[in-house]
Copies of this chain bind each other. A is one copy, B any other.
Amino acid sequence: METRGPGYLIADEDMLRPNSPLGHGVEAVRRALIGRRLRSAEEIHERVGVVKGLAVFASDNISSSAYATEEIMRVLLLAGAGALALTVPVTIAIVIVLAIVVISYQQTIGAYPNGGGSYIVAADNLGPAAGLVAAGALLTDYVLTVSVSIAAGVAALTSIFPEAYDWRVAIGVACVAILGIGNLRGIRESATLFALPTYLYLVAIFALLGYGLFLSASGRFPAYQAPAGWIPSGTGQALGLALLLRAFAAGSVALTGTEAVSNGVPAFAPPEPGRARAVLILMGTFFALIFLGVSSLAGQLGIVPDPSEQETVISQLTRTLVGTGTPMHWLVQISTALLLVLAANTAFADFPRLGSILARDRFLPRVFQFRGDRLAFSSGIVLLAVIAAVFIVAFGGSVTELIPLYTIGVFVAFTLSQAGMVRHWWRRQNERRWRARAAINGIGAVTTGIVAIEVGIAKFTLGAWMVLVLIPVLISVMWGIARHYREVGDALTLDRTDMPLPRLAVPHVVVPVARLDRSALAALAYARSISLDVTALHVTDDAAEAEQMRRRWVLRNDGIPLVIIESPYRALIPPLLAYIDERERADPERAITVVLAEFVPRRFWDYLLHNQTALRLKLRLFFRPNTVVVDVPYHL
């Protein structure tokens, strides 16, 4: 350790080195998976520019194009194949909402250069309760972003590798695990690792759509073959407003991920707001073009969704245009799958960051605030990975079954965030153009609010109810945690920082002695070194044994009095506690200290054969006021 001044030391990396063979093994695996440790001061280098920023933050939104069209079509198909003609109008309606949200968020980025996530904006302007609602909604949606994106990514793969279909749950869980490990390595390397797929996807999908439009314009459309197992008949549902609204709700999953950019402004290299705005606009434009292109071409070709979810609509579109198993087909599918994995990665950037902000505000346990060896918020990453994997397993890796849970949280967050922005401008009436700005965010809030209600109603029975139950539960847990920390903080805070240290008398020390052996002597010797007032205590159910103990004790003549308690009911701990109570009644001013001899075996599992009584005693004493417990370990 380096000394920087009197009483000021700097820890170095050496002391983090393990010193056991097992520890070395764990460390080697950890290094290989997570990478070398980073100093806190190394953080500034972990920022991204527009190019990498688009990969990290926009991929969530853009990747929705892989399934948004398909989910609209699945709903419309309930009214028969003819209803699929409405896919494009529904798509256009959703793109309009997207445009409103993107414009609205441009202002949020400007107003909150330190990160304008819905939680911050809502809490800042509408109060902590609104902030918590936004936070609960977002946490839920980040989890679903991972589950849905990974499930959709696996579907993109099973479109070209039908053999993998039976393994889709296992593949999905493995992807989540790999993402978790990648994110424990830290965000910069994630961006490097993941930048390629985004651009690969953009190039591949635009090339495909361009080729499709060219074929369409030149009137040379190839013939389409529906997937095996498809029966050309709807469920006979009427094509009413309700079904249209459900289709809109299903497709509005397209907007998830728009939030990510404004939440992650501080992750951009300076000037942060400028780069973030550029990424947000690029993202919206790219997404809208792809979404409209896919919906339009799918409609023109007469594509129908695969009921078994083995082949995606994108894959059908691609294979119809360029042929099954061609390099282009593979390129589109593989880049789609990679992009979706990257989209899940967005949530891995945002969930832990939001978790750390919530922990800073005391709504989550402190551990979420702690950054690991690579400056990543390890606890949040691990928690997210575990819950997302559970969702994938629970829903059998089906995108269509997961979708109804998704979206609702994100629109609740949008609404609160934009409403908060209206309040933000209202408070800054001296700023230029505050009215126009408030109006823009107001339109955003009203639009997303309407969509939130619409999605909640349309998807309620399909699974949205789970989310509508989960979010309030999450909010009340976080509220409870915050109240608890506040109470504790109030109780522990010093009234004045120079509040004097209490003067305590030397404690009464009680040493329970089960047998007269070396570990007992070690405990007694320690007790005598910290106090002159030591009593040894022997509890037994055997009067003859007690007498023998008394005689040996007298012979030893250590100057420490021995008290024997005969316990006819064989209990060990209650008589001991009763004795301590009596001692305390006799002299209530002085604290009781219990010195326990604990034997430390050489092998960890041998511990099961020892100290069980000491452990129980410690637990009981821990909850007894004014009692200090001292462990004197005896090592072999």
Residues of A within 8 A of B (CB): 1, 4, 7-11, 13, 15-16, 37-41, 365-367, 370-373, 481, 484-485, 487-488, 491-494, 497-507, 515-519, 521-522, 524-526, 528-531, 539, 541-542, 546, 550, 552, 555-556, 558, 560-571, 574-575, 577-579, 582, 591, 593, 598-601, 606, 608-610, 612, 618, 622-623, 625-636
Residues of B within 8 A of A526 (CB): 504, 507, 591, 628
Q: Give complex CA distance A627, B630 in Å.
A: 11
Q: Give complex CA distance A563, B503 in Å.
A: 22
Residues of B within 8 A of A574 (CB): 11, 15-16
With contacts A8-B564, A562-B7 taken as known, whether A502 is within 8 angstroms of B522 at the C-beta atoms is yes
Residues of B within 8 A of A629 (CB): 630-631, 633
**A528 x B501 contact (CB < 8 A):** yes
**B504 x A492 contact (CB < 8 A):** no
Nearest-Cβ distance from residue A548 to partner chain B, whole angstroms? 10
With contacts A15-B578, A574-B11, A633-B627 taken as known, whether A555 is within 8 angstroms of B498 at the C-beta atoms is yes
**A599 x B492 contact (CB < 8 A):** yes
Can you list the 3 inter-chain pairs with the closest CB atoms, starting with the nearest?
A11-B575, A504-B529, A530-B530
Nearest-Cβ distance from residue A406 to partner chain B, whole angstroms? 30
Q: Give complex CA distance A371, B569 in Å.
A: 9
Residues of B within 8 A of A625 (CB): 633, 635
Nearest-Cβ distance from residue A38 to partner chain B, whole angstroms? 8
Residues of B within 8 A of A556 (CB): 497-498, 501
Nearest-Cβ distance from residue A438 to partner chain B, whole angstroms? 38
In the complex, residue of chain B having the shortest beta-carbon distance to the beta carbon of A37: B569
**B501 x A564 contact (CB < 8 A):** no
**A493 x B506 contact (CB < 8 A):** no
**A516 x B494 contact (CB < 8 A):** yes
In the complex, residue of chain B having the shortest beta-carbon distance to the beta carbon of A597: B492
**B565 x A9 contact (CB < 8 A):** yes
**A568 x B40 contact (CB < 8 A):** yes
Residues of B within 8 A of A564 (CB): 7-9
The one of B521, B539, B571, B628 in contact with A16, judged by C-beta atoms closer than 8 angstroms, is B571
Nearest-Cβ distance from residue A458 to partner chain B, whole angstroms? 38
Residues of B within 8 A of A627 (CB): 633
Q: Give complex CA distance A530, B575 in Å.
A: 26
With contacts A526-B591, A552-B497 taken as known, whether A485 is within 8 angstroms of B609 at the C-beta atoms is yes
Nearest-Cβ distance from residue A505 to partner chain B, whole angstroms? 7
Residues of B within 8 A of A563 (CB): 7-9
Residues of B within 8 A of A493 (CB): 517-518
Nearest-Cβ distance from residue A24 to partner chain B, whole angstroms? 15
In the complex, residue of chain B having the shortest beta-carbon distance to the beta carbon of A562: B7
12 contacts between A and B (CB under 8 A): A7-B564, A9-B566, A10-B565, A11-B566, A15-B575, A41-B568, A365-B608, A365-B609, A492-B515, A502-B521, A625-B635, A630-B631
**A507 x B525 contact (CB < 8 A):** no
